[in-house]
Every structure is written in C-alpha cells, then in structure tokens.
A and B are shown apart, each in its own frame.
Chain A
Amino acid sequence: MGLHQNVMRESVSQLELREVVPVTPQMTCREAVDLMRRKRHGYVVVVDPQDRPIGMFTERVLVRLLLRGAAALEEPVSKHISPRAFIVRASEPIAKAIQMMRTHDWRFLCVVDDRGKAIGVTGQRGIMEYLAEHFPRQVKAQMIGSKLYMDQREGA
C-alpha cells in the first residue's frame, strides 16, 4: 500500500510518540531548560492541573530568550509558550499532523486523548522516522558516510 493511503488511514497514535515532559505554568524558564537538558528533549509541555496542555516551551524560544540576557531565564515559562493550537488528537490521521506542521511551521505537536489529556509529543522528526519505517528497503538500506570518490588512487 502506498504511503499516501497509509497517512490518510493510520492515526497519529501509530507514530512513535515521545514522552510529554509536563511542567506547570509557574515554572521558570531556567528550570524548564534544566529539565529539557536532563530529559534530552527540545521541548517541555506546559499543562493545567488536569494534565491538559496549555502550550509548549521549545528550544527555538530559548535562543531569543538568551539574547535578552540571563535574567530573562527567571521569567515563568507561561510567558514564552507557543500558541494554543498545537494540539492533535491521537485518533486523527497522520496526514492531519503533517498538514498542521507544514501550515504553521511547527516543529512539535502535542498529542492528546479524547478527553484532552496530553499523552505524547510528536514532530517533524517523528514523521521522518515514520517515512523511514515505511520504506525500509529504500531509506534504511542507504549507506551512511560514503564518499563520492576515493582519497587515493586504487593501489597507489
């Protein structure tokens, strides 16, 4: 079956989701950055007491924050989160997630269950991994690190 049918038919829950890494809106950016470094993720998800996502703080925001000086890191994360509509339901097709990221140029999407609770994070990288899984023969069999030409003549 072609990839096109698959992305229309398969749901977001079939992607390999990353963990949520929830934080409260009051947490400072510095604490959030420490958590991101510890967890080795480029994001944290700001959630309300019911675990529903309010926004995401990502490494993209961090660059701009640092340029304002280290003091900016003491501000609460809720001041620097991405807009609300970054949420995709686990039951929606993968094609919808691709379209959302493409239209809004988002790197991450927060995946929620039917009650709106955050259950995972996916992103452009997740889509690429899906693509590689779909075409293992074409993509994964590629040799990594080969050069166009040899450094020396053969036998030289």
Chain B
Amino acid sequence: MRRKRRSTPPAVFEDPLKDYSPPKYEDELERSLCEDRVDVIKTRPFTTIDADTPIEQALRTMAELDVACLLITERDHLVGIFSERDVLFRVAHQYEQIKGQPVREVMTGRPAAVYETDTPAKAINLMATGGFRHVPILNIEERVVGIIGPRRVTAYLQNLLTETAG
C-alpha cells in the first residue's frame, strides 16, 4: 500500500522587508554623517612628498603651500604623514642638526586612514576620539585620493548648519 504523501503547506508570500524601517534622522547633518561618502567633505587638494625629501624641503613646501600637513609616499603608496605637530615635537628643538635628513626620520608612520567609500562619521570619529588631526582618504587600491583636516570638517559642518537654518 502506498502511503499518502504529506502535502506541503501552500506557499505564503512574506515580504522579507516588511519589518524594515529606514533610519530616521533628526536633520540633514545627521543624515549626511551616516549616509554620505566622506568626500562630501572637501578632500582636495592634498600634497604628497617622497619619504626621502629632506626635512628642510618639507618645511618649505608646507610654508609655501600654506598647508598644515604633508602626506609621505614611497612608490606611490602612503607610508606616513608629516604635520605641524611633528615639527613641534620632533624637529623644532634640533632643526639645525637634522634639517638635511630625510623626512621619514621624523614623520608619523602608518597613519590611520579611511576609504573614499566610508562615511564622514567614520573619519570624524578617527579625528575626535582617535586624536588624529588629519585623516588621509584612500581608494580601493590603497592610493591616496585626498585628505581631511579640522579646517575642512569645520567648513562642512558650517555649510550643513547654514542649510538647516535656511
């Protein structure tokens, strides 16, 4: 005797997204922090120099371009960052003795960076809680495509606050 096959229950379509509620943001700034790409903040121009550049030349570049930090590269890859803070802590007290040495000796190596597809919130977290004044922006090939610093974040913030107010 053949046993009767148990019948499968009729298929009921259930919308897998039925409980999904999109995040609600209080204002445009919060939305931008969480959803935009980091390059909504001005990320260019940026200046790169080779790790073998003498310290004196690096300082001259900073002064001429009026920038607070330089990105240090080796064969097109980011290896460090050299900022005014490095000048204060590693260069100022011995400038005459070391000005001919390569900038790699006094740079901050392996800087914390974000990818261009990350959110502004991630970059700002690095700056506010990680204590990094400048955060390089990398593409998927790990090449530098920009940098953000406090000055650019303040500008981003003010633009959004003005928009909200308007």
> Which of these, B33, B84, B150, contacts A135 with CB under 8 Å?
B33
A148 lies within 8 A of chain B by Cβ: yes
CA distance A11 to B128 in the complex (A): 20
Contact A63–B128 (Cβ < 8 Å): no
Closest to B86 in A: A59
CA distance A1 to B164 in the complex (A): 13
CA distance A127 to B160 in the complex (A): 14
CA distance A105 to B66 in the complex (A): 12
Q: Mark A127-140, 1 if CB is under 8 A from B, else 0.
A: 11101100100111
Q: Mark A93-114, 1 if CB is under 8 A from B, else 0.
A: 0010011011001010000000
Contact B34–A128 (Cβ < 8 Å): no
> Which of these, A131, A138, A149, contacts B140 with CB under 8 Å?
A149
Interface size on B, as a range, is: 35 or more
CA distance A70 to B42 in the complex (A): 35
A67 lies within 8 A of chain B by Cβ: yes
Contact B95–A124 (Cβ < 8 Å): no
Contact A33–B62 (Cβ < 8 Å): no
CA distance A70 to B91 in the complex (A): 11
Contact B60–A3 (Cβ < 8 Å): no
Q: A3-B30, A62-B92, A66-B59 are in contact. Are A144 and B126 (CB under 8 A)?
A: yes
Q: Is the interface of A mostly helix, strand, loop or mixed?
A: helix
> Which of these, B29, B88, B112, B155, contacts A4 with CB under 8 Å?
B29
Chain B nearest CB, measured from A116 CB (Å): 25
A119 lies within 8 A of chain B by Cβ: no
Chain A nearest CB, measured from B96 CB (Å): 5
Contact A128–B127 (Cβ < 8 Å): yes
A153 lies within 8 A of chain B by Cβ: no
Contact A135–B121 (Cβ < 8 Å): yes
Chain A residue numbers with a CB within 8 Å of B88 are 33, 36-37, 42, 59, 62
A115 lies within 8 A of chain B by Cβ: no
Sample of 14 further A-B pairs with CB below 8 A, known A2-B26, A69-B96, A142-B125: A3-B164, A4-B29, A37-B92, A42-B84, A42-B85, A59-B88, A62-B92, A67-B59, A70-B96, A98-B157, A128-B124, A139-B124, A139-B128, A148-B117
Interface residues, chain B, with chain A CB atoms under 8 Å away: 26-27, 29-30, 33-34, 56, 59-60, 62-63, 68, 84-85, 87-89, 91-93, 95-96, 112, 115, 117, 119, 121-122, 124-130, 133, 140, 150-151, 153-155, 157-158, 161, 164-165
